[in-house]
């Protein structure tokens, strides 16, 4: 008779655990960071002598529906998507800045063409003060746009640096948080021999958020601790210890918003600044070479038309018109050839049609600008495709993860009905056992 009481009690205990777990699952239905839980039931050892019968059911602590491989795949996809999105954001800014249009009044190509068009007009009438003034005005407009573009690129760089700084702070915050959770989880397991599911969910969420910031490699140690290393192989978290990341080392990391921002800053953005500077430097060098070999209206050898401020970070930032007197433009090719000599002005105008070594390629000024714009456009197309493709991968992995760990209300409601019936059945067994016991006592 005592065995019947024991069986009924273990069944009630199991049913209660199942109902509590199901209720907890339903209560966390809207919590996307929650992993649904389950209770494992195992048969208790049989008892008795000649006739052996069951002894009820053992009830385990609640555990999570969880797949570490799937979780790591999803986090890796988060990292790649955030990386590509950060690059996309930066490249879209460059694309907007450099969008090529021959009719756009803010196009650098148009300003360069206007400058050389003014030198061509000067060649037609080298005595015209108005034509000379237009050369200087258009030259200054061109220089101003070089300055403006360079300033905007520097702003993008400063913005990227600020983002990287913020990302480093976030990486360190999550690193510390994960190390603390490692310690808490280890302590709870040691003291209770149970799974601290809420702490495990919190740690998984912290790792997921960390993955969106920077690429990580996660390794489970002793089934309790998570050790985390970064893309350069350095350790961020080792058990209950974490190691701070600094901004200098962060520039070399890949993955996540941090990696994507660093790649844009040190890649496409740096290339855009270099290309713009090379173009400005070549314009200055070639124009000054012609200007200084000619003679002005006073028969004096020409002085540099453009100069680059020594304190400027690059040629595009520092280019400016060096002369203010239109008479100083060297349109003549000889000191005694008279004011109508236009041969040097023709050489200036012809620079527009010539090709020079700009960076590593021989091309004209217009070709150099178009090449810069084309490079950005190609990069934008490529990164847009990557963002779209990676977004699909991320969605698929999230669906798989939610299918495994997310709460399905239909399934949980079905379980609730089943476990209610289960509880009632065990209550009936207990009631029957008590009735039988009363009968036996009455017989005595």
Q: How do residues 289-340 score in pLDDT, each as one tens digit?
A: 999 999 999 999 999 999 999 999 999 999 999 999 999 999 999 877 777 8
pTM score of the predicted model = 0.88
Residue, of 418 and 102, whose pLDDT is higher: 418
Q: What b/e sequence results for 354-381 when a residue is b if at least 16 CB atoms lie within 10 Å of its CB, and e otherwise? A: eebebbeeebbbbbbbbbbbebbbebbe
d(CA 404, CA 407): 9
- The contacts of residue 173 (CB under 8 Å, 6+ apart) are none
What tokens does 86 get? 């950060």
Residue, of 356 and 55, whose pLDDT is higher: 356
Is 80 a residue whose pLDDT tops 90?
A: yes
Determine contact, residues 353/180, Cβ cutoff 8 Å: no
pLDDT value of position 444: 60
d(CA 381, CA 377): 6
pLDDT value of position 55: 72
Give the Å distances, CA to CA, from 256 to 91, 182, 207, 235, 384: 16, 23, 12, 17, 16
Model confidence band, residue 52 (pLDDT cutoffs 50, 70, 90): low
Interval 115-171: pLDDT, tens: 999 999 999 999 999 999 999 999 999 999 999 999 999 999 999 999 999 999 999
Is 11 a residue whose pLDDT tops 90?
A: no
Percentage of the chain modeled with pLDDT above 70: 95
Interval 191-238: pLDDT, tens: 988 889 999 999 999 999 999 999 999 999 887 899 999 999 999 999
- The contacts of residue 248 (CB under 8 Å, 6+ apart) are none
pLDDT value of position 2: 54
pLDDT value of position 349: 97
C-alpha angle 392-398-401 in degrees, rounded to nearest 5: 145
Model confidence band, residue 102 (pLDDT cutoffs 50, 70, 90): very low
Out of 73-77, 283-287, 381-385, 415-419, least confident range:
415-419
Model confidence band, residue 101 (pLDDT cutoffs 50, 70, 90): very low
> Parallel, antiparallel, or unpaired: how do β-strands 225-230 and 235-238 relate?
antiparallel
d(CA 93, CA 200): 40
d(CA 353, CA 360): 19
pLDDT value of position 199: 96
Interval 24-45: pLDDT, tens: 999 999 998 999 999 988 888 7
d(CA 329, CA 336): 15
Query: Which of these, 232, 176, 234, 231, lies nearest to 206 by C-alpha position?
Result: 176
Model confidence band, residue 105 (pLDDT cutoffs 50, 70, 90): low
Task: Give the number of C-alpha atoms closer than 13 A to the C-alpha of residue 286, restricted to the C-beta side.
Answer: 21
Average model confidence (pLDDT) across the chain:
92
Is 252 a residue whose pLDDT tops 90?
A: yes
What tokens does 101 get? 């249009």
Residue, of 91 and 443, whose pLDDT is higher: 91
What's the mean pLDDT in 8-27?
91
- Most distant CA atoms of the chain, gap in Å: 145
d(CA 350, CA 319): 21
Is 410 a residue whose pLDDT tops 80?
A: yes
What's the mean pLDDT in 51-68?
82
Query: Which phi and psi angles does 48 have, rounded to 5°?
Result: 115, 175
Model confidence band, residue 401 (pLDDT cutoffs 50, 70, 90): very high
């Amino acid at each position: 008779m005592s065995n019947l009481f024991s069986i009924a009690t273990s069944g009630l205990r199991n049913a209660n655990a199942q109902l509590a777990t199901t209720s907890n699952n339903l209560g966390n239905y809207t919590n996307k960071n929650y992993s649904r839980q389950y209770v494992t039931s195992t048969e208790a050892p049989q008892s008795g002598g000649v006739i052996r019968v069951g002894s009820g059911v053992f009830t385990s602590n609640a555990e999570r529906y969880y797949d570490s491989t799937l979780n790591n795949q999803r986090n890796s996809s988060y990292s790649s998507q955030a990386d590509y999105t950060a690059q996309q954001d930066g490249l879209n800014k460059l694309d907007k800045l450099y969008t090529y249009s021959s009719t756009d009044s803010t196009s650098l190509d148009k300003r360069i063409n206007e400058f050389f068009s003014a030198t061509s007009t000067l060649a037609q009438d080298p005595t015209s003060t108005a034509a000379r003034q237009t050369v200087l005005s258009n030259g200054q407009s061109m220089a101003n746009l070089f300055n403006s573009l360079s300033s905007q690129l520097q702003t993008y760089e400063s913005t990227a640096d600020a983002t990287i700084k913020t990302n480093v702070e976030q990486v360190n915050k999550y690193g510390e948080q994960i190390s603390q959770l490692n310690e808490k989880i280890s302590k709870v397991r040691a003291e209770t021999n149970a799974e601290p599911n809420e702490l495990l969910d919190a740690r998984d969420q912290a790792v997921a958020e960390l993955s969106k910031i920077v690429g990580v490699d996660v390794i489970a140690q002793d089934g309790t601790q998570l050790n985390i290393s970064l893309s350069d192989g350095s350790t961020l978290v080792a058990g209950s210890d974490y190691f701070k990341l600094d901004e200098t080392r962060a520039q070399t990391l890949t993955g996540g918003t941090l990696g994507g921002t660093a790649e844009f800053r040190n890649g496409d953005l740096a290339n855009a600044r270099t290309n713009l500077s090379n173009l400005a430097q070549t314009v200055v060098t070639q124009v000054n070479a012609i200007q200084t070999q000619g003679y002005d209206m006073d028969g004096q050898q020409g002085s540099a038309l453009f100069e680059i401020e020594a304190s400027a970070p690059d040629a595009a930032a520092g280019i400016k018109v060096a002369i203010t007197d239109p008479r100083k433009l060297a349109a003549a090719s000889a000191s005694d050839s008279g004011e109508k000599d236009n041969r040097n002005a023709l050489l200036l105008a012809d620079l527009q049609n010539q090709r020079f070594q700009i960076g590593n390629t021989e091309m004209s000024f217009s070709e150099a600008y178009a090449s810069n714009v084309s490079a950005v456009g190609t990069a934008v197309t490529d990164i847009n495709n990557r963002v779209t493709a990676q977004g699909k991968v991320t969605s698929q992995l999230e669906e798989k993860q939610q299918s495994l760990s997310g709460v399905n209300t239909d399934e949980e409601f079905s379980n609730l009905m089943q476990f209610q019936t289960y509880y009632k059945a065990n209550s009936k067994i207990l009631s029957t056992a008590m009735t039988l016991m009363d009968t036996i006592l009455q017989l005595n």
